[in-house]
């Protein structure tokens, strides 16, 4: 188990890049102590197995839309503030005591998106005591999903995508 203390404010300046938190074989705990990430790309953070994110504020402005305004998930292009790599298994993820703010007044992707194809598995994923805030006033914005677990139901496997031991506890949205 490794601990990484993160302090300060970080601004993602390149629209087509993301912070890559994948490839960890042992548990890594990133403690933000209130640090702020301003994420301007459609994919802000790519997360993999064995990662804990605790006590961060994420100001997200990725506004790429997929489908119509009636698409309440808006997940078809894999955009999100925090997302995983499709076509891979993911396990042992904790996102705790984080604040997510969407800073545009347009249809947004989920703040947190876990996406799977056939045969992929999500295991031991916890989202605890997080706050999700939309600052816009449009009806489209008010009805978007904050968290999505999504399967594309494609891929070479005949087995379905599976979720095991996943939980969302004590997290709230400022919109219905």
d(CA 56, CA 134): 17
- The one-character DSSP state at 139 is H
What is the per-residue pLDDT for 113?
92
Residue with tokens 């997302």: 83
Indicate the SS3 state at residue 142: helix
Per mean pLDDT, which range of 82-91, 93-102, 143-152 is the poorest? 143-152
Q: Which residue has the higher pLDDT, 62 or 65?
A: 62
**pTM as predicted:** 0.90
- Are 15 and 44 within 8 A, CB to CB? no
| pLDDT tier at 172, thresholds 50, 70, 90 | very high
Between the alpha carbon of residue 72 and those of residues 93, 162, 165, 166, the distances in Å are 24, 22, 25, 21
pLDDT at residue 94 is higher than 60: yes
Which has the minimum average pLDDT: 34-38, 107-111, 142-146?
A: 142-146
Measured at the CA of 108, the angle between CA 77 and CA 63, to 5 degrees, comes to 75
∠51-45-39 over CA atoms, to 5°? Answer: 140
pLDDT one-digit tens code per residue, 73-90: 666 667 889 999 877 899
Per-residue model confidence (pLDDT) at position 71: 59
pLDDT at 68: 56
Q: Is residue 124 predicted with pLDDT exceeding 90?
A: yes
């Amino acid at each position: 188990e490794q601990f990484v203390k993160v302090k300060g404010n970080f601004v993602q300046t390149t629209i087509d890049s993301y912070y890559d938190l994948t490839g960890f074989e042992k548990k890594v705990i990133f403690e933000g102590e209130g640090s702020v990430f301003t994420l301007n790309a459609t994919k802000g953070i790519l997360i993999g197995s064995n990662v804990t994110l605790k006590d961060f504020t994420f100001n997200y402005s990725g506004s790429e839309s997929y489908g119509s305004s009636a698409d309440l998930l808006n997940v078809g292009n894999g955009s999100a503030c925090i997302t995983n790599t499709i076509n891979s298994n993911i396990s042992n993820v904790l996102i705790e005591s984080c604040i997510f703010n969407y800073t545009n007044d347009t249809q947004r992707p989920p703040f947190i998106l876990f996406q799977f194809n056939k045969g992929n598995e999500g295991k031991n994923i916890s989202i605890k005591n997080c706050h999700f805030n939309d600052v816009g006033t449009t009806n489209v914005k008010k009805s978007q999903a904050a968290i999505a677990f999504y399967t594309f139901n494609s891929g070479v496997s005949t087995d379905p995508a599976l979720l095991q031991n996943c939980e969302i506890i004590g997290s709230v949205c400022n919109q219905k």
